[in-house]
Amino acid sequence: MRAAGGLPRCGRRALLAAAGLGGLGCGSAILGRPAAGQALPPALLPDSTTLLLPGPENGAAAQWARNVAAGLARALPQAMALRTSILGGPDGVTAANRFATLEGGDGRTLLVLPGLAAHARLVGESRAQFQPANWLPLCASWQGAVLAGRGLPAPASARPLRLALPGPEAPETAALMALDLTGHAAAPLFGLSGAAAEAAITRGEADAMVIAAPHPRRRALELGLTPWAELETPERRDSPDLPSLLPPALPATPQQLAVQAGFAALRLRAALVLPGLTSADIVATWRRAALRWQEEEGRQSLEWAGPALVGAELRAAIGTLLPPPEAVLAYREWLLRRLSWQPG
pLDDT in tens, 213-264: 989 999 999 999 999 999 999 878 888 899 999 987 778 999 999 999 999 9
Reported confidence tier of residue 146, pLDDT bands at 50, 70, 90: very high
Spell 256-288 as b/e; 16+ CB within 10 A means b. Answer: bbbbbbbbbbbbbbbbbbbbeebeeebbebbbe
Nearest Cα to Cα of residue 25 among 5, 43, 10: 10
Instruction: Judge whether 78 and 45 are in contact, CB under 8 Å.
Output: yes
pLDDT in tens, 270-315: 999 999 989 899 999 999 999 988 888 777 655 556 788 999 999 9
**Which of 99-103, 154-158, 211-215 has the largest mean confidence?**
211-215
Q: Compute the average pLDDT of residues 56-66.
A: 86
pLDDT in tens, 167-207: 999 999 999 999 999 999 999 999 999 999 999 999 999 99
Q: Compute the average pLDDT of residues 109-137.
A: 95
Q: What is the pLDDT of residue 324?
A: 97
Which H or E element spans position 339?
helix 325-339
Reported confidence tier of residue 77, pLDDT bands at 50, 70, 90: confident
Q: What is the pLDDT of residue 300?
A: 66
Mean pLDDT estimate for the chain: 84
Full DSSP string of 53-76: EES-TTSHHHHHHHHHHHHHHTT-
Whole-model pTM: value is: 0.85
Instruction: Judge whether 1 and 61 are in contact, CB under 8 Å.
Output: yes
Q: What is the pLDDT of residue 33?
A: 42
